[in-house]
């Protein structure tokens, strides 16, 4: 092929322009298959997750694009795909671990300890599959962010009309505030434990609010510095809960059976719903789609996107494997100590440390303080990621070009004021805090469709994703997972409200709220489909 080209070039000048024209056409065709990117003037007007100078530079392959993309998340092997590199994996490591914090926040730890105390090791299999479903959703979020160069909140701003966009923004903020209250309260409980009760809950809330700004200020010295702080906090959790796991000497046979053999009874259905329901945190979906943009990747170069997705998939899988092990440690410890006891139904986040101390004693280092250290690491890390997510949610939906410390202050204020009120009001009652946590879990469960449905909708659209849109098989799996999660959370809501709501007036208000809620969810699912167009046409005809 080369020998045939050389004489033509030497002979006078016809082949080279033809080759250039063919190459230009090939480049145009390749660009047409990629997601559309904003022009430089548009970029200057838009809020960005990370400025170009803040991004971590990763040396990616600069070869020609391949023509085929395998359905799903993994990129298809090709002759031009570079070999796996541990150094590149290290440079991409960070966003997945920040994302995994939502699987380890105090709300999740409370769900773990209650599942262990009430159901023993019988729900470990569900914890494993719930984590796998969470991984699927987070890989979708990462795929969206890498392939488009924009995060979920920014894309929602362009995808939906103003009224729907503002409703989605409001839902995302409510979900984030609900999660933040739990995270800050969890951190404040840990501070109370470690100070031997000297610092009350409200003081712990104030300390957590202030040190959140200190940690986030590390981002000014580079994204990798902030990621290193999270690595330390995750390692602290892993060591603390692994220490507890070793101290309590659980039955390994029961543990393995619990992971491999599915069991579910009517007595443990509420704990099972809680295990699955707290896996998907709405604000975490927005967060992960933004975090993956902290690496310098050109979304207009298909080979770079493919390679980035390859490493992000590996990193996210490792991160959630670590989070699964930590959750397993917590569940198993409380299963060993309290399964089948009269205390099992009374254990919550506030009194868990005291119950552990009474059951397992002191030892070389009192288990109460080991629990307190792990809980503090969970509370601090999840509070920081919550504030981080709030910046992206606000900036993306509203397109606010504000300095990051101002957005952090606004985001923190949304949650810190109600949290201090909560801490002052509930400081004297363990049962009151447990009731509050139930209401907050319900609040977050309500918001799940408003992050999950837009994510799946956008990642399935060729106009948004180009060749990186998910295929039909992956769409079927993800919609099935979404339907399962929404159904499970619907059961949780029905069970909760049937026991809490009494009276004709409150029941009527709840019915109207459920009708409005269901209508909005259906709108998000059907928007842009042929069925929705037919419904709109039918309504217009009936009104005309």
Instruction: For the chain, give every domain's residue range.
Output: 86-500
| pLDDT at residue 3, rounded to an integer | 41
46-86 pLDDT per residue, tens:
567 777 777 888 876 655 544 444 444 444 444 467 888 89
Question: Is residue 227 a contact partner of residue 98, using CB atoms and an 8 Å limit?
Answer: yes
Distance CA 113, CA 186 (A): 14
Alpha helices in 339-403 (DSSP H): 352-360, 367-398
Q: Burial-class residue 526 by CB neighbours within 10 Å (0-12, 13-18, 19+).
A: middle
Instruction: Give the chain's radius of gyration (CA, Å).
Output: 25
Q: How confident is the model at residue 427 (pLDDT cuts 50, 70, 90)?
A: low
Contacts of 355 by beta carbon, 8 Å cutoff, 6+ apart:
337, 338, 343, 347
| pLDDT at residue 38, rounded to an integer | 53
Nearest to 91 by CA among 63, 65, 60, 62: 60
pTM above 0.85, yes or no: no
Residue 359: count of CB within 10 angstroms of its CB: 16
| pLDDT at residue 334, rounded to an integer | 93
CATH code, 86-500: 1.20.1740.10
**pLDDT surpassing 50 at residue 5:** no
Q: How confident is the model at residue 400 (pLDDT cuts 50, 70, 90)?
A: confident
- The b-or-e profile of 130-145 (16+ CB within 10 A means b, else e) is bbebbbebbbbbbbbb
Distance CA 471, CA 3 (A): 41
Longest CA span, the chain: 94
Residues present in the chain in total: 544
Nearest to 233 by CA among 175, 295, 183: 183
Q: How confident is the model at residue 484 (pLDDT cuts 50, 70, 90)?
A: confident
Residue 261, phi then psi, degrees to nearest 5: -110, 110
* DSSP code, position 14: S
Secondary structure percentages of the chain, helix, strand, coil, to 5: 75, 0, 20
Range picked from 38-52, 54-68, 133-147, 178-192 for highest mean pLDDT? 133-147
| pLDDT at residue 6, rounded to an integer | 37
**pLDDT surpassing 90 at residue 139:** yes
Distance CA 384, CA 379 (A): 9
**pLDDT surpassing 90 at residue 403:** no
Residue 409, phi then psi, degrees to nearest 5: -65, -45
| pLDDT at residue 81, rounded to an integer | 72
Q: How confident is the model at residue 510 (pLDDT cuts 50, 70, 90)?
A: confident
Nearest to 283 by CA among 475, 514, 522, 103: 103
256-268 pLDDT per residue, tens:
999 998 888 878 7
* DSSP code, position 124: H
| pLDDT at residue 9, rounded to an integer | 37
150-179 pLDDT per residue, tens:
999 999 999 999 999 999 999 988 888 888
| pLDDT at residue 78, rounded to an integer | 47
| pLDDT at residue 166, rounded to an integer | 92
Question: Is residue 470 a contact partner of residue 140, using CB atoms and an 8 Å limit?
Answer: yes
Contacts of 372 by beta carbon, 8 Å cutoff, 6+ apart:
190, 193, 194, 353
Distance CA 361, CA 359 (A): 6
Q: How confident is the model at residue 10 (pLDDT cuts 50, 70, 90)?
A: very low
Paired residues of 295 in beta bridges: 56
| pLDDT at residue 145, rounded to an integer | 94
Question: Is residue 117 a contact partner of residue 339, using CB atoms and an 8 Å limit?
Answer: yes
| pLDDT at residue 24, rounded to an integer | 52
187-237 pLDDT per residue, tens:
889 999 999 888 888 888 888 877 777 777 777 778 888 899 899 999 999
Q: How confident is the model at residue 500 (pLDDT cuts 50, 70, 90)?
A: low
Contacts of 44 by beta carbon, 8 Å cutoff, 6+ apart:
none
Mean pLDDT over the full length of the chain: 80
- Mean pLDDT for 377-405 is 84
- Mean pLDDT for 519-532 is 77
In three-state form (DSSP H/G/I as H, E/B as E, the rest C), the secondary structure along 79-104 is CCCCCCCHHHHHHHCCHHHHHHHHHC
Nearest to 36 by CA among 466, 489, 334: 466
* DSSP code, position 56: B
3-class DSSP assignment, residue 401: coil
Distance CA 280, CA 30 (A): 35
Long-range contacts of 358-363 (CB under 8 A, 24+ apart): 360/247, 360/248, 363/247
Q: How confident is the model at residue 515 (pLDDT cuts 50, 70, 90)?
A: confident
- Mean pLDDT for 120-131 is 92
């Amino acid at each position: 092929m080369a020998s045939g080209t050389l004489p033509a070039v030497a002979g006078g000048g016809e082949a080279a322009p033809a080759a250039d024209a063919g190459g230009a056409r090939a480049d145009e065709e390749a660009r047409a298959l990629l997601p559309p990117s904003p022009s430089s003037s548009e970029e200057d007007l838009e809020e960005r997750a990370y400025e170009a100078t803040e991004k971590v530079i990763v040396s990616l392959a600069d070869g020609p694009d391949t023509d085929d993309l395998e359905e799903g998340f993994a990129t298809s092997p090709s002759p031009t795909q570079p070999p796996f590199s541990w150094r590149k994996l290290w440079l991409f490591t960070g966003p997945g671990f920040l994302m995994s914090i939502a699987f380890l926040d105090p709300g999740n730890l409370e769900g773990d300890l209650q599942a262990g105390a009430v159901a023993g090791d019988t729900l470990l299999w569900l914890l494993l599959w719930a984590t796998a479903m969470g991984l699927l959703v987070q890989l979708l979020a990462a795929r969206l962010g890498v392939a488009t160069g924009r995060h979920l909140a920014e894309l929602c701003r362009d995808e939906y009309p103003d009224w729907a966009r503002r409703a989605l923004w409001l839902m995302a903020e409510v979900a984030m505030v609900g999660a933040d209250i739990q995270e800050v309260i969890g951190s404040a409980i840990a501070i109370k434990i470690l100070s031997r009760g000297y610092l009350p809950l409200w003081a712990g809330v104030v300390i957590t609010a202030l040190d959140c700004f200190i940690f986030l200020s590390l981002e000014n010295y580079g994204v990798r510095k902030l990621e290193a702080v999270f690595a330390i906090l995750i390692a602290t959790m892993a060591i603390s809960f692994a220490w507890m796991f070793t101290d309590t000497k659980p039955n390994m046979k029961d543990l393995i059976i619990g992971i491999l053999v599915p069991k579910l009874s009517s007595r443990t259905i509420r704990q099972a719903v809680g295990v699955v329901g707290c896996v998907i945190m709405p604000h975490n979906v927005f967060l992960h789609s933004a975090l993956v943009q902290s690496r310098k990747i050109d979304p207009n170069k298909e080979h770079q996107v493919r390679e980035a997705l390859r490493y992000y998939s590996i990193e996210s899988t490792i991160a959630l494997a670590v989070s699964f092990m930590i959750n397993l440690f917590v569940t198993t410890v409380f299963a060993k100590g309290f399964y089948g006891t009269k205390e099992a139904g009374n254990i919550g986040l506030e009194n868990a440390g005291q119950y552990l101390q009474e059951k397992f004693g002191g030892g070389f280092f009192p288990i109460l303080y080991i629990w307190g250290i792990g809980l503090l690491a969970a509370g601090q890390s999840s509070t920081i990621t919550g504030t981080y997510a709030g910046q992206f949610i606000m900036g993306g939906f509203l397109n606010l070009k504000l300095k990051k410390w101002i957005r952090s202050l606004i985001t923190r204020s949304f949650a810190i004021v109600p949290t201090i009120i909560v801490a002052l009001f509930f400081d004297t009652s363990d049962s009151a805090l447990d009731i509050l946590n139930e209401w907050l879990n319900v609040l977050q469960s309500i918001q799940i469709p408003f992050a999950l449905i837009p994510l799946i909708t956008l990642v399935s659209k060729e106009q948004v994703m180009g060749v990186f849109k998910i295929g039909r098989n992956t769409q079927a799996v993800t919609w099935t997972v979404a339907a399962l999660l929404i159904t499970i959370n619907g059961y949780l809501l029905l069970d909760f409200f049937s026991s809490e709501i009494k009276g004709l007036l409150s029941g009527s208000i709840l019915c109207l709220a459920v009708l409005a809620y269901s209508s909005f969810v259906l709108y998000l699912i059907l928007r842009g489909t042929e069925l929705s167009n037919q419904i709109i046409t039918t309504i217009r005809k009936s009104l005309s």
